[in-house]
A = this chain, B = another copy of it.
Amino acid sequence: MKTSPFAPEILAKMPVIEGVGFASIEAGIRYSGRKDLMLAVLSPQTVVAGTLTKSRTSSSAVDWCREQLAHGKARALVVNSGNANAFTGLKGRRAVEITAQQAAIAVGCTPQEVMIASTGVIGEALDPDRFTHLLGDLAAQADIDGWHDAASAIMTTDTYAKLSTRTLQIDGVDIHINGFAKGAGMIAPDMATMLSFIFTNAPIAPDILQALCSQYVKGSFNAITIDSDTSTSDTLLLFATRTAQIAPIDSADDPRLEGFSEALGALMLDLAHQIVKDGEGVSKFIAVHVEGAEHDVAAKVVALSIANSPLVKTAMAGEDPNWGRIIMAVGKAGEQADRDRLGIWFGDIEVAKDGEVAPDYREELGAQYMKGAEIAIRVTLGIGEGAAVVWTCDLTHEYITINADYRS
């Protein structure tokens, strides 16, 4: 597979977060020659928040996490790639339970404190005997510097490991937020991430952590789309080890949350963008801004209609400033739009205005702009104050090549 043109030259250096260690191994679940099983070991007092796929055919691991998020405690995270353990019926449920039990023994906690995620092929049984015997050794080897290996072990068709880190100070103490994610295909809002795990040492209460997670997921992981397909397995988990030696943050009004929120939001957006930039077959990173909609939700519907349109995405792949297809996508979205008030911009170039091509627009300007790797499309509807941004990538031959024989 061709590496994304957006792949970073070197991976971000991740600071240690006290109370978080990783180990990963080649368990041979599906892939060979690469790691496909990851265990994160978390210190006592770790709390967890998260957002899970809204798919009606969610995987057994997602169902398990949904149950465990209710109590908000976590001591371990087990992730395998190669098999999604989705649509695997009672066997799938049993595989999750065995995994939780074995990880609990390995780490020294209750099965309910083990979070689990699986990604890969849907509909094939995941045999827990293939890998659960490895968990004891993994727990013993857990390494505070294991971030890069952990981010690689959860990849499927990703072409690079996606990591992000932020550090801020609260009460003179370093607070770190580290996260990693995998994406690549079957990426569409609710949730868009496939898998993303974020860790911090901040002593934040679980309900506040959950509120922050829900707040920032909207504009980050739920504002990206690769191919409009929503996975059965999408999982975002946010762990706080609470190991930083500062007074606990137990109230949503705590002023110390401000810098933390901002850093968390920026980190989530960074990981979400990295997922788009490694979308299957990506050659362009596209931001779709919609303004002047009836309300924000309408703006997002229109933005997604543009971002998910195969005709818009193939035009971008062909570096064709085909703004007629953007008009089409606005029209099909079903939200209020008045042709004679519509405006379209490519970056700073005004393309269309008041229902017609803009007076100064020339095709060469658009064609030149499309040659860039990062494209901004802006649509002004002229109806109200609603606005939204969605990020996507183009639709290329490489996407077809990857997906026409993913399993073979």
Binding site for B on A (CB under 8 A): 53-58, 84, 86-91, 121-125, 185-186, 188, 227-232, 308-311, 314-315, 317-318, 320, 322-325, 327-337, 339-340, 342, 352, 354-357, 395-397, 399-401, 403-408
Contact = CB atoms under 8 A, between A and B. Distances in A.
A406 B185 contact: no
A355 B324 contact: no
A395 to B, nearest CB: 7
A57 B328 contact: yes
A343 to B, nearest CB: 11
A56 to B, nearest CB: 4
Contacts of A337: 56-57
A403 B328 contact: no
Contact of A327 (B122, B357, B396): B122
24 contacts: A53-B331, A56-B330, A56-B331, A56-B337, A57-B342, A86-B324, A89-B339, A89-B356, A122-B324, A123-B323, A123-B357, A228-B309, A229-B325, A229-B328, A229-B329, A310-B395, A314-B399, A314-B400, A314-B403, A315-B404, A315-B406, A317-B400, A397-B400, A397-B401
8 smallest CB-CB distances across A and B, nearest first, come from: A122-B324, A318-B404, A57-B331, A55-B331, A314-B403, A230-B332, A89-B355, A89-B356
A229 B352 CA distance: 21
A147 to B, nearest CB: 29
Nearest to A309: B229
B406 A320 contact: yes
Contacts of A185: 311
Q: Which of A122, A125, A229 has the most CB of B within 10 A?
A: A229
Contact of A57 (B330, B395, B399): B330
A185 B309 CA distance: 12
Q: Which of A123, A323, A334 has the most CB of B within 10 A?
A: A123
A229 B332 contact: yes
A50 to B, nearest CB: 18
Contacts of A342: 57, 87
Contacts of A320: 404-408
Q: Which of A327, A395, A401 has the most CB of B within 10 A?
A: A327
B232 A328 contact: yes
A310 B228 contact: yes
